[in-house]
Amino acid sequence: MTVDLVVMGGRVYVEGSLFEAGVAVDDGRIVKVAKEAHLPNADLKVNASGLLVLPGLIDCHVHLRDQGLAYKEDFYTGTCSAAVGGITSVLDMPNNVPPTNSKEALLKRMERARNRVVVNVGFYVAPPEKPEALKDLLRLGAFGVKLNLLRPIGGVDLTPPRIVKVLGQASECSIPALIHAEDRFMVMERSPKDLYQLAKAHTIKAERKSVAELLTLNTWGAKLHFCHLTSSTSISLVCKARRSRIPVTCEVTPHHLLLGLDSLKKHGAIAFYEPPLRGLRSVIGLQRRVASGDVDVIASDHAPHDPSKDKEVEDPFKVAPGSPGLEVMVPLVMTLVTRGLIGLERAVAMMSENPARIFGIKRKGSVKPGYDADLTLVDMKLEGVIDPAKFKSKAKYSPFKGWRVKGLPVITMVAGRVLAERGEVYAKGGEGRILRRSYCG
C-alpha cells in the first residue's frame, strides 16, 4: 500500500500524550498513526524532526470582514493570516456588511469565500429580522447564532422575549448560541470623555449581569457559549451553571489573558477592545481559570481594522474595537506552555479538541485514523519576536508588537496539504473548504 503522504520524525499528540511516531495520510484523511517502521510507503514525506505534531488548531471566533469591509480584511488575507499562525479552521462572526442574518446573505458569503479561502471556514449567523427565518439559516449549515447584547447585529433588538425565542430555536436545532455578554444599558449610562474612560465604562459588573441574565433566560436548555469573558467572577457563574448540568461553555482571548488596562494607556486605540482590557487582578484571575480547566476555549477574536480610518479618530465612541489576532494567538499560548503556566494538554484542548466538540466540526480536533489530516506542527524551542509589519493580515498593528515568544507554528496542513511553512503561504485561494454543520432540527 502506498499513501499520499507521511509526516515522520516528530512527536505526535494523541489524546493527551506525545508519542515518537508518524502520521500516514491518504485522500485527505489520516489512515495510520504508528512508529516509522510500521508506516506505509508514501509519495511524499514531511520531515517533522524536532517538532510537535498537533491536531489542526481551530479558532472559533474570527472576523474575516470582506464584502463591504474588505478594506479591513478579505477572505484571502484573513485565511493566509490563519495559515501562517498555525490555524487550520476558523469560524466567522456575522457582524459584517451586509450582516449575515438572512438566507441570502449567508449563501452569498459562502459563495464569495469558496474560491478565496486558504484554510477551512465555517460561518455563524445573527438573528434574522423575522424570527421564524432562523431555522432556514441553520439548515444551510451555520455553526451557531450570535447574540451581541452590547451591539445587536443587523438592527434586531434583543429584548428578553426575543432572546428566549432565539434560544428555543437554537435548542431545537441543537446548535450553540454565542453570547457577547455586556449589559449595554449599564455601559451607556456613563459619559466617558476619552478612550480610557470609555473602557472603564464597560464594567465587569455589566459583563457579570449579562451572563447571569442569559443563564436565567435559558429556560430551553440551549447550548450557551460565552465569548471573550474577562473576569473570574463571570467564569464562576459559568462553572456554577455547569454543576447544575446546564450546557454552557466559555472562551477567553490572548489579549484579555495577557494585557492589562495599562496597555490601553501605552498603545491607545490599537489596544481598545469590547469588552475592554482589565486590571492586573482580573488578568491573574483569568490565567488561573485557564490553568485550572474552567475555561473551554482560547480564541483570537481576530478583528482587523484600517488604523487610519478606524483607530485614528478623536471621538472615542467612533474608535473601532479590536486587533488582528490570528498570527499571534498560537505563539502567545505556546509561550505560556514553555513557561509552565499552561500545560500542553490544556492548550490543545482549548485550541482544537474543545472547539471541534462544542461547535460540531466533524472529523477535526484529533490525530487518529478517520479524521481529516489537518495538522499543526510546532517547534517548541523556536523563538521569535512579534512583528506586525510581517503580518499576512491587511491590519499590520498589534499591542503585542515586540513581544518575545517561544513555541512557534512552522508547518500548517489541511487535508494533508502543506498550506504554510515558516511564515510563507504556499496555498492558493480556494484550497480551504467551506465547513457546514449538520442540521439536527
The single residue listed with the C-alpha cell 502567545 is: 332
pLDDT along the chain (441 residues), means of 10: 96 96 98 96 96 98 98 98 98 98 97 98 97 91 97 94 96 96 92 90 97 97 98 98 96 98 94 97 97 97 92 85 98 98 97 98 98 98 98 98 98 98 96 89 56
Residue-level pLDDT at 352:
98
Residue-level pLDDT at 439:
67
Single-letter residue type at 320: A
Residue-level pLDDT at 339:
97
CA distance 418 to 377: 10
Name residues whose C-beta falls within 8 Å of residue 101's C-beta, 6 or more positions apart in sequence.
94, 125, 126, 127, 128, 129, 137, 153, 154, 156
Tell me the pTM. Answer: 0.97
Residue-level pLDDT at 155:
87
Q: How far is CA 90 from CA 35, 61, 80, 114, in A?
A: 31, 7, 11, 14
The two beta strands, 177-180 and 224-226, are parallel
Residue-level pLDDT at 441:
56
Domains within the chain, CATH numbers bracketed: 2-53+370-425 (2.30.40.10), 57-359 (3.20.20.140)
Residue-level pLDDT at 221:
95
Instruction: Concatenate the DSSP letters of all residues of 160-195 into one string.
Output: HHHHHHHHHHHHHHT-PEEEE---HHHHHTS--SSH
Rounded to the nearest angstrom, the gap between the alpha carbon of residue 52 and the centroid of all alpha carbons in its chain is 21
Residue-level pLDDT at 188:
87
* Residues labelled catalytic: 301
Residue-level pLDDT at 440:
60
